[in-house]
Structure 1
């Protein structure tokens, strides 16, 4: 169970300095470093007003016979309770750290201050200062606050998270369970973790214990630089089991800079939907290795569409950066300057191609609705008798009829072959193909009738291919599925 509540973040298992003795690259004590860093770490307190009942709105009154004296008694009782009861507030605690002492900028997690009516920053000496939310980003779970005070502040710099190696020592300071200024130490357990928290997951994993109130707190290297923002834990019980995650500083730096300059993020946008390249997909495409990001669909009028990128292309390099796995592409694109023309290398129909793409802005595309499905086209009405079903790959396939369009909610403009049955235990079924799916392409060639599908399967077998690639539309959601051949 992944926990990312407003009261969670990472602290690292205490007691580890003893393990450092005898090692030349670790200190015998973290005391000097902790003393230097503690003043820069703050506690975050938020409050949110509980929703109030509208005038005249009462809690549910017990049911009594009409005209009963108890009915009027309970109405009067609840009315007095509502008038006398003060407005309640929900409160929560988190952590943060100062990055600019002169201007009072503080970094924390978005989920720490999300929906808060009031945010208070508490310094090491218990000074309370009301904070302004400069900007926040739910996709990376980061927020930037600003405080105004004559109180002297201490700031800490961002470090290079890419330089951190598995096994490196780290120090964390936070506000677990409201116990401000708690210092703990541990190591980096893993890098580049994807925990399905957002589209840009690239977490540092640590053996740290994460407890309530540490969210938004800094993780330091031994130079006193912030290399991570403690954010989440993996826990079946809600308590720490030693698997914690922090946002890497190299991701945070760019987001924080944008929040500071614009009050919001401004990310690069390519305009494609992508999926992972499995070994079966790589084989069916003739791709030498299962790497890159497979383009499942292209947004009409988006940067990719304008540059000629097509569904079925595999993006292997973007702006000179290798795309070894699917989830790297969104991060690389997001970090690219808006309106920059960049080279993109794609694998298309057995060979490498290069195109130039002018990067768009993700937020502008979201606001304009460009990320929605493309415009519908009017399709000619289906005529004639009901077509005969054909079986292939353990699937029963039929040409699309008006009845099937209605039954499976198939869009009027969509052309292809509809799956009406999936054989139990078939490879296609194991790959997730379902009745109602529409096969749009087979082997990256369009199909219109079941015979097209069986013909392309037979041709692939004759060519000695081990699998064949299907492009499937499921209620407007396009994805590629590689089906091994020679199996039902």
Structure 2
């Protein structure tokens, strides 16, 4: 059986009429898996993942020094070692100050849903958020998309215990970010946004949020930056295949259910990441992830305007060539053994850039701008990170076994 084909966007049309009646079996299987919607494979408090790497992490150790107070003392008595606590106290004071500058800006998020017709709406889940801006009558809160997903109403729970109704301005499943707006009259603290570009492995990392709900609101955990630019696959439509690979900060600061959307800060009290997920396996301890704030900022700015995030758009649905049986590669696609990787177009959206460029079902795309494309995931990654709306790109593809090229102009399309 074929895996569900992946779509680069939501189709707005029914696709081109197929005049060339090739192998109906292949075409039927290519089209049978059209996804009806996108669902984030993330849950309040964390994504459940397999272990990416077995990495050894070393814990920090205190230095203990032995000192004698009398140089003339020649006795053989044991000298009691003493711990120099001056540096420790300085660090603790510094961390306390950093935390106090941010803690009141880390709020609770309550996802209100109605379970059924006969029951009143109630909190279906809780998470955390960060007040990052206060302007006029409103304050703005960033959180995770999966924290507010499916909500009928959203409440922000301030550190003084007040529940404030929030307006969801925008959400983005791909980056797992959402922006809310609340009245500013009770907001006293705004968290300063720092930069994640200067982070190094071993830096102190502090996570602030509401693990397990509001009962433990404002909890603080401390650890280090365990890794940078970690690639974590995200399955948006739950078909067992990665729809996106997100780059995250790895930390061993404890991140538990309810921490999602909270702040990861540095020792200066600046937000360097938005806590998002963890590996939840019995055999794994201390592997949590945060969205780098430098990656989050441009998304936040777009969501704040109430618009969906716009990304370059081609307008195709496709399956990975490696999933196609050898018989169909030879008989239907007419490929020889030298073509090993690419994506097979299953559908072309009417009036899309791909349609205008003449691409058709069964075309096998192997390159975009001389960048090899081995999967739909690689296509999305390249388009979203390396190109812009309005760019012209060259597409290399095979049709009936012959290599061809075409040029298309990337258009604007919300979603994926």
1:174: Cα distance to partner? 0.9
Structure 1 residue 330: Cα displacement:
1.0
Superposition pairs of residues 336-355 of structure 1, within 5 angstroms: 336-338=387-389, 340-344=390-394, 346=396, 355=406
Q: Secondary structure at the match of 2:180?
A: strand
Aligned to 1:362: 413
Which residue of the other structure, out of 209, 217, 233, is the alignment partner of 1:180? Answer: 217
Alignment of structure 1 residues 272-311 onto 2, 5 Å = 272-274=316-318, 286=338, 294-297=343-346, 299-301=348-350, 302-308=352-358, 311=363
Alignment partner, residue 98 of structure 2: 33
Instruction: Give the equivalent residue in structure 2 for 1:141.
Output: 176
- Which residue does the alignment assign to 2:233? 194
Which residue of the partner structure matches residue 159 of structure 1? Answer: 195
Shift of 1:93: 1.8
Please tell me whether residue 113 in structure 1 is matched to residue 162 in structure 2.
no
Shift of the 294–248 alpha-carbon distance from structure 1 to 2, 3 Å rule, reads farther
- Rounded to whole Å, the distance in 1 between the matches of 2:184 and 2:288 is 34
- Structure 1 residues 245 and 344, CA gap change in structure 2 (3 angstroms): farther
Q: 1:227 to 1:315 in 2, by over 3 A?
A: farther
Contact 2:126-2:258 at 8 Å conserved across structures:
yes
Contact 2:41 2:234 in 1 (8 A): no
Equivalent in 126, 131, 136 of residue 93 of structure 1 = 126
Partner residue of 1:170? 205
Q: Partners of 2:193 and 2:358 in 1: how far apart?
A: 42
For the structure 1 residues 359 and 164, does the alpha-carbon distance in structure 2 shift closer, same or farther, using more than 3 Å as the test? farther
Match of residue 129, structure 1, among 159, 164, 174 = 164
Please tell me whether the aligned partners of residues 45 and 276 of structure 2 are also in contact (alpha carbons under 8 angstroms): no
1:329-358 per-position Cα deviation (integer Å, ceiling 9, x unaligned): 3134246543x1333364769999865321
Structure-2 residue corresponding to 1:260: 304
Write the deviation string for residues 44-76 of structure 1: whole angstroms up to 9, x where unpaired: 1233334234xxxxxxxxxxxxxxxxxxxxxxx
Return the match for 2:254 from 161, 184, 209.
209
* 1:194–1:165 CA distance, 2 compared to 1 (3 A): farther
Shift of 1:196: 2.5
1:329 corresponds to: 379
Unaligned 5+ segments in structure 1 are: 11-15, 54-85, 367-488
TM-score when scaled to structure 1? 0.53
Query: Could you tell me whether the CA contact under 8 Å between 1:9 and 1:211 is conserved in 2?
Result: no
RMSD (Å) for aligned C-alpha atoms: 4.2
Higher relative contact order, structure no. (Cα contacts within 8 Å, ≥ 6 residues apart): 2
Q: In 1, Cα distance between the equivalents of 2:259 and 2:321?
A: 37
* Shift of residue 327, structure 1, vs aligned partner: 2.6
Equivalent of 2:314, from 270, 279, 295? 270
When residues 186 and 325 of structure 1 are mapped into structure 2, their CA distance, relative to the original with a 3 A threshold, is farther
User: Could you tell me how far apart the structure 2 residues matched to 1:234 and 1:197 are?
Assistant: 17
Does the 8 A contact of 1:232 with 1:246 survive in 2? yes
Deviations 1:279-325 (A, max 9, x none): x99x96647xx88x53544514321342355622212548xx88687
Aligned to 2:113: 48
Instruction: Return the offset for 1:148.
Output: 0.8
CA contact (8 A) 1:46 1:113 kept: yes
Separation in 2, partners of 1:7, 1:47: 17
Q: Aligned with 2:309: secondary structure? A: coil
For the Cα contact (< 8 Å) 1:50–1:90, is it kept in 2? Answer: no
Contact in 2 for aligned 1:203/1:246 (Cα 8 Å): no
Greater percentage in helix: 1
Given that 1:6 and 1:111 are in contact with CA atoms closer than 8 Å, whether structure 2 keeps it comes out as yes
Q: In structure 1, what is the Cα distance between the partners aligned to 2:398 and 2:375?
A: 17
What are the ranges of 5 or more consecutive residues in structure 2 without an aligned counterpart?
A: 1-39, 49-57, 65-89, 238-242, 330-334
**Deviations for 1:331-386, whole angstroms, at most 9, x for unmatched residues?**
34246543x1333364769999865321123338x9xxxxxxxxxxxxxxxxxxxx
Q: Which has the larger radius of gyration?
A: 1
CA deviation profile, 1:81-109 (whole Å, cap 9, x unmatched): xxxxx846344321010221224110111
CA contact (8 A) 2:368 2:393 kept: no
Residue number in structure 2 paired with 1:244: 288
1:376-387 map, 5 Å? none
Contact 2:191 2:271 in 1 (8 A): no
Instruction: State the SS of the aligned residue for 1:37.
Output: helix
What is the SS of the residue equivalent to 2:305?
helix
- Partners of 2:157 and 2:105 lie apart in 1 by 11
Q: CA deviation at 1:135?
A: 1.8
Counterpart-to-counterpart distance in 1, 2:103 and 2:59: 18
Report how many residues are paired. 315
